[in-house]
């Protein structure tokens, strides 16, 4: 397949996630202004950090004076999942140059990873496809953050509109796209239960690590059973 055709398929695949990211970016911008950030500061966070989950976690911890060490640690803990995602994609991007691999890591997101993994089940991941998928999302995320921050003073609390569920809905859709039956169900249930328990007992951001570790363990235990199932 030619690079333009691969890029076109990438844009097609990422389009639903881009649409879903818009209300999430609006929500983040509005919440950021509610925490005392200016429109520029909220937008710059999306430009410089560009990590939705970590940005929302940072807002949860945001007080004055700003707890720098707590923010840095929570961001590190939440974004540690990128190490696993990168390791998962490494054997599927063997045709990438070193510069392309570094660029691919720079724009790695949960959505791009999920779409690339799904595509790898059917055909090779090309640089044209990857960068079409991964480079489109930042534009929407940053733009909607600025817009949400600007509209924040008019919207009031966006949670009363149910906008905070958009983040959850997006990840439900990603899981559905990667569903492989019993093993996936066991992994999701174990991860969700561990994350919920950690959130209630210990609090953020430890629930992210708990969910990840439980999910990995459950996937490892369920895989042999899945392979042995006729």
Quote the CA–CA distance of 63 and 172 in Å, as a whole number. 31
CB 137 within 8 A of CB 20: no
Residue extents of the structural domains in the chain: 3-178, 180-230
Do you know the residue count of the chain? 230
Q: 3-class DSSP state for residue 205?
A: coil
What's the pLDDT at 36?
83
**Cα-flanking dihedrals φ and ψ of residue 4, to 5°?**
-60, -40
What's the pLDDT at 62?
78
What's the pLDDT at 228?
47
Number of Cβ within 10 Å of residue 36's Cβ equals 11
What's the pLDDT at 43?
92
pLDDT, mean of residues 144-163? 73
Number of Cβ within 10 Å of residue 210's Cβ equals 20
Where are the alpha helices (H) located in the chain, listed in sequence order? 3-34, 39-48, 52-61, 68-79, 81-89, 98-106, 110-120, 127-155, 165-177, 182-201, 206-228
What are 27's two structure tokens? 């929500």
Closest among 27, 10, 212, 8 to 111, alpha carbons compared: 10
Q: What is the pLDDT of residues 169-219, one digit of tens each?
A: 656 666 666 676 777 788 888 888 988 998 889 876 677 778 778 887 887
């Amino acid at each position: 397949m030619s690079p333009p055709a691969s890029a076109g398929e990438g844009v097609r695949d990422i389009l639903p996630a881009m649409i879903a990211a818009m209300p999430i970016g609006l929500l983040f911008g509005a919440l950021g202004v509610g925490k005392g950030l200016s429109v520029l500061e909220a937008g710059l966070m999306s430009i410089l950090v560009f990590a939705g989950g970590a940005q929302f976690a940072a807002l949860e911890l945001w007080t004055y004076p700003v707890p720098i060490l707590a923010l840095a640690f929570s961001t590190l803990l939440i974004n540690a999942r990128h190490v696993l995602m990168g390791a998962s994609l490494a054997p599927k991007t063997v045709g990438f140059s070193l510069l392309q691999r570094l660029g691919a890591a720079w724009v790695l997101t949960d959505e791009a990873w999920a779409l690339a993994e799904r595509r790898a089940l059917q055909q090779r991941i090309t640089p044209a496809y990857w960068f079409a998928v991964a480079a489109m999302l930042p534009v929407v995320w940053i733009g909607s953050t600025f817009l949400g921050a600007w509209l924040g003073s008019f919207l009031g609390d966006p949670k009363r509109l149910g906008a905070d569920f958009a983040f959850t809905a997006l990840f439900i859709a990603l899981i559905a796209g990667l569903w492989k039956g019993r093993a996936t169900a066991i992994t999701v249930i174990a991860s969700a239960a561990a994350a919920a328990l950690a959130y209630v007992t210990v609090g953020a951001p430890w629930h992210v690590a708990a969910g990840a570790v439980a999910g990995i363990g459950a996937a490892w235990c369920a895989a042999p059973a899945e392979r042995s199932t006729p």
